[in-house]
Structure 1
């Protein structure tokens, strides 16, 4: 499939729709962060596991799709692999914070402390910030490449 076919198939619209779906998961994480002082440790743990499920089943597949399919299309359109160096780096940052949340979960089993709770909130804040800014940059700088190449109807 060529980059032109991607545009004709509405891939830019699909990617934007994917981002809207991701916003739901980010909103849940944001609510957890905002309410964290009022949550019991058990409630925070349950919300962490809800977030980990979302990260595993929604966000990770999205990142893989971007890395393996969408970003090569952008690189082809731009004529250079540098077009997606920064977003690929952001993916690695996101993956590192997901790993930190998984470590938090493992550390927490049976030993919740104020520090483990604080670590969870800190890492949830980091994942929310990283994913939100990543999506914003893609929408501002990468998705317009697809729109610029869209065939005009006349």
Structure 2
């Protein structure tokens, strides 16, 4: 059983929400760049922005999702009120992965922009559920320490991926990074 520290869990919950905001902002930037390039008809720019988005998805967003599946979701699913929620969250992870695959496979600028925009919409809904349902569920569970669950996130995603968190995410890691968007939590 984990020890429950209300202050540490509150800080961890805020770190999760802050990190999710950073992920959403980074995704919005990538999607906006891709859609703008598709609208203006610059094929070279479309594929450059698509490739940049795919690189970010593979080094940031997907590792984040897989780390959540290993660190946060089991604790939430163990609670009767969280089991179906987590099942839905896992379905959304599969939808996000399918949209990433669609983005990788398309050869049409409009289809790339549409897939990117769809991914952004699914991710926004997904983050709202994590922030408003999963995180509060874990914070409220007396036998769960959200701070302890997040402490192992670096190990789950290989030490913070390319960019690391620089200690800014609240996960307890200290992998140096030079961007505000991070891999963990």
Q: TM-score range by the shorter chain?
A: 0.7 to 0.9
Distance 1:3 1:117, change over 3 A: farther
Determine which structure has more spread, i.e. the larger CA radius of gyration: 1
Q: Deviations over 1:58-114 (max 9, x none)?
A: 00110011111111121234465323111111000000011111112xxx4xxxxxx
TM-score by length of 2: 0.66
Task: Name the structure 1 match of 2:119.
Answer: 127
Task: Name the structure 1 match of 2:109.
Answer: 117
> Where in structure 2 are the equivalents of 1:52-131 lying within 5 Å?
52-78=54-80, 81-104=83-106, 108=107, 116-131=108-123
Deviation at 1:32, TM superposition (A): 2.4
Asked which structure has the greater RCO (Cα within 8 Å, sep 6+), the reply is 1
Deviation at 1:14, TM superposition (A): 2.9
Q: Is the 8 A contact 2:75 2:138 kept in 1?
A: no
Task: Name the structure 2 match of 1:27.
Answer: 28
Unaligned runs of 5+ in 1: 109-115
Unaligned runs of 5+ in 2: 146-185
Deviation at 1:33, TM superposition (A): 5.0
CA distance in 1, matches of 2:40, 2:70: 41
Deviation at 1:30, TM superposition (A): 3.6
Distance 1:16 1:144, change over 3 A: same
CA distance in 2, matches of 1:133, 1:51: 19
Q: Could you tell me which of 32, 40, 52 is aligned with 1:38?
A: 40
Distance 1:57 1:5, change over 3 A: farther
Specify which structure has the higher proportion of helix: 1
Task: Name the structure 1 match of 2:13.
Answer: 12
Deviation at 1:45, TM superposition (A): 0.6
Superposition RMSD in Å: 2.6
TM-score by length of 1: 0.78
Q: Which moved more, 1:136-145 or 1:91-100?
A: 136-145
Task: Name the structure 1 match of 2:135.
Answer: 143
